[in-house]
Structure 1
């Protein structure tokens, strides 16, 4: 049963929605009001769904397992089988993602630990999730050049990282996943120099789904993109420091390590090593003994 309080003459609400396979993507905005949902009456027999709610504008109060003050940018997961109350005193703008419990359990084995908890958008993986969801509108789904499963997999992977960040026992990597995790890392390392390498390529070689790949990495607080770039950067720096590669230009070294854009290559090396590729090379040439020992490590 859904109860809505507010001035019916002034109340307004707008909604757009799009289907993204297992996830419904919804945007809602409107005027101040309060809502109480009691699932133990008329709605009890309806489909069990979960809802990831992102507050995009004014702060509001909610109660779902516990009282929560949800600031702009913050998120929470709502279970349709539990009481839910929200009080919004100003205009609201909400990003809303609806999915089944089974979908989320593919990423977080016991996601009940996340239900009703405030997910901040100012630190850790919550910052990444908040920024991603703010862009993932129904219009973005309709115009996406990527399969919608790729877009929704990012939601699941980031929620898994948030659960791991909070040290929930359910998302600690299982022993049976350790072997797969090592195989994924090894495969990325072996193929990192391929310019167009993507997660689907690794999953295909290991005969697993892309979702399993992302889920396994997320359980270890890792992402495919970061592992790939870190490996390419490490290979490139070893080549830069090696006397055997002094005849190669820095652009060629970047290309051989898997970087197709020289400027991107330079930015990645600078951000990870605090120096541009040319400065790393200059330092290695001034200390050939150190360079050789580094390249052989």
Structure 2
């Protein structure tokens, strides 16, 4: 991948590109704000999908950030550059905002450190990284410059061999598919302002295909299921599981009988993603989390919600829930409700139009 594809003067020329673009464009820039006000404006804007914090006290005085985004059909293509900071998506936030998108990034400059369960991952300049915004996120970015594409799950997941295992996945940027993906994404961003809506739509569809091609080629441990057949069969089983999560009898026996698949085959299909029992438990825990923070479910008892999603033992449920989300079900329920959507008339025009906030929050 040639990072030189990204021009260094993009920030200077952003307003001219917006005026010439045939696509919807959103600009956000802290440059016209007094330095002490810049980070607060940035945090409020990025806060539509991420929690943001500085690494050290006093960094506010030197903060700088800008972003340029294009809306292409139902995906958002964005370049973002800013000072060092920390980004989070915690379980409660994931449940509250219901954002269900993938974020694929090419790190043009800087580094990213990611806490992923018990593992620590580090991504250098040039890396191609995938994040699943329906999952938790805990990263620290040095001063950075990156190009991202935000894609609704419904458009990318059907093309992926492991749609629920993309968070923190990377593609080798010097591999054939990695170089192809990174170069195409950077080139698409560079050319976006010059494309017609029809051209951009076709280019975005090709990008989604390239993302699937690149990440499906990433090696994973375990599993001996032939790729093409295994992908289709796994998706079929996952769809069945999600449709029957409330069934107390949901398990390998029920699934095997309903779909005509042997138990051994089921175990092989799910081995690369932690096993079928773990997959069922994860999906049920996510449904419980969503219900626990829902205003519509406020009158239901915790045990009732757990039972509705297949947890017959309240003690086991409470233990599994805290292990997964770091807080008890009761603590989650007592947490503050999500911040209401801001009135756009109150937004500071000095930082730009901020349309990207509505785009990112509204992708579906």
Using the size of structure 2 for normalisation, the TM-score is 0.43
Q: Is contact 1:108-1:171 (8 Å) kept?
A: no
The residue aligned with 1:34 is 86
Q: Please show how residues 57-96 of structure 1 align to structure 2 within 5 Å.
A: 57-64=109-116, 66-89=119-142, 91-96=143-148
**Aligned-pair CA distance for 1:112:** 2.1
Report which of the two structures shows the higher radius of gyration computed on alpha carbons: 1
- Match of 1:2? 51
Give the direction of change, closer, same or farther, for the CA distance of 1:41–1:60 in structure 2 (3 Å limit): closer
> Matches of 2:97 and 2:76 in 1, distance apart?
20
Q: Residues 45, 59 of structure 1: CA spacing in aligned structure 2 closer, same or farther, 3 A cutoff?
A: closer
Unmatched tracts of structure 1, length 5 or more = 178-297
Give yes or no for contact 2:94–2:134 (8 Å, CA) kept in 1: no
Q: 2:193 aligns with which of 125, 142, 157?
A: 142
Instruction: Output one character per residue of 1:39-90: Cα deviation in whole Å (capped at 9) or x when no partner.
Output: 414862333222112211122212345422111111221112322122223x
Matches within 5 A, 1:190-269: none
Query: Which residue does the alignment assign to 2:317?
Result: none
Please give the root-mean-square deviation of Cα atoms over the aligned residues, in Å.
2.8
1:88/1:163 Cα in 2 relative to 1: closer, same or farther (>3 Å)?
Answer: closer
Sort the Cα spacing of 1:20 and 1:83 in 2 relative to 1 into closer, same or farther, 3 A.
same
Equivalent of residue 153 in structure 1, options 201, 205, 211? 205
Q: Considering Cα pairs closer than 8 Å and 6+ residues apart, tell me whether 1 or 2 has the greater RCO.
A: 2
Assess if the C-alpha contact under 8 Å between 2:79 and 2:147 holds in 1: yes
**Aligned mates of 2:111, 2:128 — CA distance in 1:** 11
Distance in 2 between the 1:148 and 1:59 partners?
Answer: 30
The number of equivalent residue pairs is 175
1:173 CA displacement: 2.5
Distance 1:106 1:41, change over 3 A: closer
1:120–1:150 distance in 2 versus 1, CA, 3 Å:
same
Structure 2 residue runs of 5 or longer lacking an equivalent are 1-49, 233-364
SS in 2 for 1:121: coil
TM-score (norm 1): 0.52
Q: Deviations over 1:223-253 (max 9, x none)?
A: xxxxxxxxxxxxxxxxxxxxxxxxxxxxxxx
Is 2:170–2:215's contact at 8 Å kept on the other side of the alignment?
no
